[in-house]
Amino acid sequence: MEIHLKALTFAPMYRNLVIKVGTNVLTRPDGRLDVTNISHLVDQIAALKAAGISLVLVSSGAVGAGREIFTVDEQTEEVASRQVLSAIGQVRLMELYRQLFAGHNLLCAQVLATKGDFRDDLHADNMLNCFRALLHDQIVPVVNENDVVAVTELMFTDNDELAGLAARMLQVDALVILSSVDGLFDGPPDAPGSQLIPLVNAADESVLDFIQDEKTSFGRGGMATKIRIASRTAQNGIPVMLGNGRTPHVLLSLLEGKWPGTVVTSGNERS
């Protein structure tokens, strides 16, 4: 089912977006980077840029990229293992993005953040100024959690939280969250008879009853986190689109004024 944004009084074209892509969209079942799907996503982002949309990409995948090229000793403590894989993988991930965006004559830039960067006014102002300068110069900011230094209280719940904070900081027209499922369903997504819920009101807590507890294989978050972040973001006047990053041309549907997943809205979006 596709939800037509015009019917919700949303504009089919957005001036600016934050797009978050989850680990399971960027990696194969074995945890290695899915270069083919990443390339397809970059193609779509380039098309959005060509249509005049300013956007920030929040990308997971650094740990998966690190796992692809390095095996951490089994005796290494979990946090240290994540730090090592992220430090190695972030280089690999950004080099891949650099090459793919260059194929569209676009530059991308790395922005790493911790939750502390959004709590501290000076850090937040510096980050906002950096985003504005990059976007002004038509550079695609690629944002990820700084896993090398983000431990305990500095960690985001996952990159959904980072994307929501970035969307609210930049006051974008919409936040897009891509995972390996089509959106919120009224039952287990793979169960016969389960139906996609195309529209969720941010204040409607009853939708939480439909959320399954399990997470996808390599990601840290799940649908509960996505709905929580989406509701908070929508209540700040920014609609949130939940969709499947493996659906062909999923991002291009934004140019057509429709969305094939779930839209979370407060009904009080900015015009």
Binding site listing: 20, 60, 147, 159
DSSP bridge partners of 174: 17
Quote the Cα angle for 35-36-39, to 5°.
80
DSSP bridge partners of 27: 33
Question: Which positions make up the binding site for substrate?
Answer: 60, 147, 159
Residue that has been written with the tokens 């980050």 in this structure: 127
- Residues 144/90, Cβ–Cβ less than 8 Å: yes
Handedness of CA 145, 148, 149, 153 (dihedral sign): positive
d(CA 55, CA 48): 8
d(CA 246, CA 180): 7
Q: Name the packing angle between helices 121-136 and 159-170 (round to 10°).
A: 80
Give, rounded to a whole angstrom, the gap between the first and last alpha carbons of the chain. Answer: 25
d(CA 104, CA 1): 32
Residue that has been written with the tokens 């692809």 in this structure: 68
Question: Which positions make up the binding site for ATP?
Answer: 20
d(CA 57, CA 117): 18
Q: What single-letter DSSP state applies at residue 199?
A: E
Residue 229: strand, helix, or coil: helix
